Amino acid sequence: MLGNLIGGFIVVVIGVNLIPTVADEVQAAQWQNATQPTNLTGSAATILDLVTLFFALGILSAGIAIAAQGLRAAGLLGV
């Protein structure tokens, strides 16, 4: 149980530390160089803007799932 809780915490900490890197890469994908933006419009641009949010939600849900698995194995979750 304790291993799963620590593992969930480590997943969240590493994921939170990677969010700025993901945001930088998303911004780099939106620009070819300093003077020319890419030709992303409409839904493609919107989805690219949401990549950082989806990454953060994925990291959060993975950490919660790992911690819940540990609590369920210890009988503390009640489900």
Over residues 8-62, the pLDDT tens digits come to 888 889 999 999 999 999 888 887 655 666 677 788 888 888 999 999 999 989 9
pLDDT at 36: 67
What whole-number distance in Å separates Cα of residue 27 and Cα of residue 17? 17
**pTM score over 0.75:** yes
Q: Can you give the three-state secondary structure of the chain, one letter per residue?
A: CHHHHHHHHHHHHHHHHHHHHHHHHHHHHHECCCCCECCCCHHHHHHHHCHHHHHHHHHHHHHHHHHHHHHHHHCCCCC
